[in-house]
A and B are shown apart, each in its own frame.
Chain A
Amino acid sequence: MAADTGVGAAERVAGLDRLELGPRKDGGPGVWARKLWKGTWPKVLAIVIVVGAWQLVVLAEWRPVFVLPPPSRVFDELVRVVPTASFWDSVLLTMGRAATGFGLAVAIGMIIGIAVARFQPLRAAIGSLITGMQTMPSIVWFPFAILLFKISEEAILFVVVLGAAPSIANGLISGIDYVPPTWKRVGQILGMRGFGLYRHLIIPAALPSFVSGLKQGWAFAWRSLMAGELLVIVPGALSIGVRLQTSRDLNDAPGLLAYVIIVLCVGIVVDIVFSAADKALRRRWGLTV
């Protein structure tokens, strides 16, 4: 009787598993190309529409051409500027500031987020303050930042961090709040406590919400940085903001628009990176259909 359950059971279990898992879906290069096309054509169409509309406004002579140049002029300017070393110096300077500010904001946001999620009185004290800060236009901090740090890198960083950290903290807090109670019970049963509990359970479980907090935090950091570079012009630092300002001073509309497009492109590229991270996370968790 024991032998009967032994051999037969193994086959029954394997059979059931195979039936429940269903057939594998296969993806070939054809599927890949179709997916790529499906994601690309709406974007191409959108660009064509925007550029077309712009061209129409120029043709209608709503503004003189030296103020509102046609797309072709701006495109020529981009082609001229992008290969130059001084252009990349500016991009590197600005992106360096963005990275430092965002990195600081992540560190500070995480510390505040964990502290608020963990200690109830702290949440009561500053929970809604964080949300309030999040909705505040960070540009209002600049006058104070300039008083505090003079015209300096620190003034810009200060505002970038103030702009980004609340979103990052809030993302982490809501991620921690929504950790399913059964996971926490499992953690308890497995003997997770203190730092280990955070490392092995709370932080990984809060990751999806944390990533959307990072994404939003980046958007605020980038905005604050651009505002900062226009307002706080540090002598000798030829950032993207300074370039924009200089173009305006010289009535160089094509140059100005070229840099606006660069700023837009940076935003899009970073968004693609965050979206890819978010998507990879969802796939691992099995949250995609």
Chain B
Amino acid sequence: MSVGTETGTEHAVRLDGVSKTYGKGRTALLALDDVSFDVRRGEFVSILGASGCGKSTLLSLIAGLDPLSAGTIDVSDHRVSLMFQEPALFPWLTVAGNIEIALRMRGVERAARRERSARLLDVVRLEGFGRKRPHELSGGMRQRVALARALAQDADVLLMDEPFGALDAMTRDILHDELERIWRERELTVLFVTHNVREAVRLGDRVVLLSSRPGRVLKEFPVEQRRPRRIDSPQVAELASAITDELRAEVSRHGR
């Protein structure tokens, strides 16, 4: 599993021939088929695909939540955390408590937990909201708490499964800026799964396009445009429409 230190510093995540089959026999479903790609340290990779491309499966595999059917995934000594479309905060805890539980699971002392959760709330611009309950916050704020909770795990690889999918356009736009800032400040490696092409181009250094049923790497698109980008800029739109064409071709292939 482990690789040499030289490549270990170069790549945060390395997927080699990854396949995942659900079930057995005739009802078996091949979700991912021979997926290979590398993610450099500090890189922001958007993973894009239509329905049934196994995007979420891929993240679960990298997070180590599910076993692989074939291939290898190497995250060497990186700590991995996963965020979902729902913030999935615990309603019985305060906002600060939701962050502290992540620290507690890592054995951080109580006083240090207080201090670090306050600092993480600052990072996601929620200073002063620590004693609120999750339901008292808006959807965008809750998702930022979830981000702070992920950061509390000291993860340097952040897997995001359509994290802004349930938010309105304005909130999503602002959270793109926020995520970009935090990614840069904390030198994170991000794998960002989405079905929104413009979002993928707006955020990614690279867009990996997956095919559907089974999921394979169809094509990769480097995003050359300098940051900060805007989701409505002509350059983003141009690349997005090229990718959308590919995506449409892939979807119509299943209609034949």
Contact = CB atoms under 8 A, between A and B. Distances in A.
A9 B135 CA distance: 24
A17 interface: yes
A28 B65 CA distance: 50
A284 interface: yes
Interface of A: 1-2, 5-6, 9-10, 12-14, 16-17, 20-21, 180, 182-183, 185-186, 188-192, 196, 200-201, 204-205, 207, 284-286
Given A9-B177, A191-B106, 5 more contacts: A21-B137, A182-B84, A190-B102, A286-B91, A286-B135
Nearest to A282: B91
Q: Is the interface of A mostly helix, strand, loop or mixed?
A: helix
Contact of A285 (B63, B135, B138, B139): B135
Interface residues of B, number: 36
B69 interface: no
Contact of A17 (B86, B133, B138): B138
A10 B21 CA distance: 45
Q: Which 5 A-B pairs have the closest CB atoms?
A: A286-B135, A20-B138, A285-B91, A182-B88, A204-B92
B133 A201 contact: no
A185 B84 CA distance: 10
Interface in B90-118: 90-93, 101-102, 104-106
B228 A16 contact: no
Nearest to A288: B135
Nearest to B106: A191
B162 to A, nearest CB: 13
Given A186-B88, A190-B102, A286 B136 contact: yes
Contact of A13 (B84, B153, B178): B178
Interface string B156-188: 000000000000001100100110010000000
Contact of B133 (A1, A205, A284): A284
Given A20-B138, A185-B65, A286-B135, A13 B174 contact: yes
Contacts, number: 84
Contacts of B228: 1-2, 5
A41 to B, nearest CB: 31
B141 interface: yes
B134 interface: yes
A16 B86 contact: no
Interface string B46-90: 000000000000000001010000000000000001101010101
Contacts of A1: 228
A52 to B, nearest CB: 44
A284 B91 contact: yes
Contacts of B215: none
Contact of B86 (A14, A182, A200): A182
A128 to B, nearest CB: 29
Given A5-B181, A189-B81, A190-B153, A284 B92 contact: yes
B219 interface: no
B98 to A, nearest CB: 9
Contacts of B136: 21, 286
